[in-house]
Amino acid sequence: MGYQYQPLSSWDEFENLCLNLFRLELKDDSIHKNGRQGTIQNGVDIFGKSFLSGKLLGFQCKGKQVYPERRIKQGEIDSEIEKAKNFEPKLDCLFFLTTASRDPSIQEHIRRINESISIDFEVGVYFWNDIELMLNKYPEVAMVFYPNSKMDYLSRVDLSSHKKVCGLLPYDDFIYHIKNEIFSPYFEIDKLNPLYCFIELRNDPNVFFNNDDLSFIYRRMQIVADRMRYLIGTHSFPYNTRSGYNEFPYKDQSISQKGRDFYLATLNEVVLDAQEFYELYCEFIQYPHKKTA
């Protein structure tokens, strides 16, 4: 279910919102504002080239009063199109972005314009209904412009759980060792304690993720951690080392070929699981930064 957002009352904020949304939608950070308010803009507030199509796009932002509702008029559309004909370099598409709700008469008017031969670029329109869909598609933008919304609360829950998981799995004291040293000579089994604490975290009702990506990575980490715990718990035994007693896979089984094969297979499974856990950990810990960069 999507969230509903009140149109922004500030014209500048609405323009900035559109800029951020279309940078993500078109996968192009080079999309930017055209000039500044009060200067000649030739019908274009935002422009840039689409990474997906290679077309040069122009955007005209039209903030409208919400209550009582003011709609965009056909005359405004025609006037801005005439201005956009003078924009350099020549546009391939001009889109109107408005806080007004969807208007069938404007949609029909734009269809007639596109069927005519009076302009050499396409025209489109995004009403607030369409922009609202984009806000739900890109919650990281919604968080910036609607910091008090329910979406922000859900995101804060995700970040709180993320912080708790990362705090249980310190890189220097745990992740580094399972990545580089697991079951090497004199590996200290106590270094795996954070793994067991992480597994128990599933019983904490305050740790959950509404974000589908984070939830999937977290569940996958739990599955791999369970597998490691099982292999270590059922295929290891206390072993006296120079630093004290430890636990290793059944090295004594290596006296026979079958035993050696079993030992190497078990060790290989644990090492592969440790590598997978490390990769999931990296993806998990970096995720919030990737989404907000």
Whether the pLDDT of residue 293 is over 50: the answer is no
Whether the pLDDT of residue 292 is over 50: the answer is no
Whether the pLDDT of residue 111 is over 70: the answer is yes
What domain range includes position 273?
A: 154-292
Domain membership of residue 268 (yes or no) is yes
The pLDDT score that the predictor gives to residue 244 is 57
pLDDT per residue as tens digits for the range 151-180: 554 567 788 899 899 999 998 888 888 877
pLDDT per residue as tens digits for the range 18-57: 999 999 888 877 788 876 554 556 678 898 888 777 888 9
- Give the CA angle between residues 211, 212, 217 to the nearest 5°: 105
Q: What is the mean pLDDT of residues 195-219?
A: 90
Domain membership of residue 202 (yes or no) is yes
Please, which pLDDT band fits residue 89 given cuts at 50, 70 and 90?
confident
Give yes or no: residues 101 and 131 share one domain: yes
Give yes or no: residues 25 and 127 share one domain: yes
Domain membership of residue 1 (yes or no) is no
Contacts of 191 (CB under 8 A, 6+ apart): 173, 174, 177, 178, 181
Give yes or no: residues 189 and 267 share one domain: yes
Q: How many domains does the chain divide into?
A: 2
**Residue 273 token pair:** 């699981």
Which H or E run includes 179?
A: helix 176-180
The pLDDT score that the predictor gives to residue 98 is 92
Q: What is the mean pLDDT of residues 220-247?
A: 74
**Of 114, 132, 147, which residue is a domain's last?**
147
Domain membership of residue 245 (yes or no) is yes
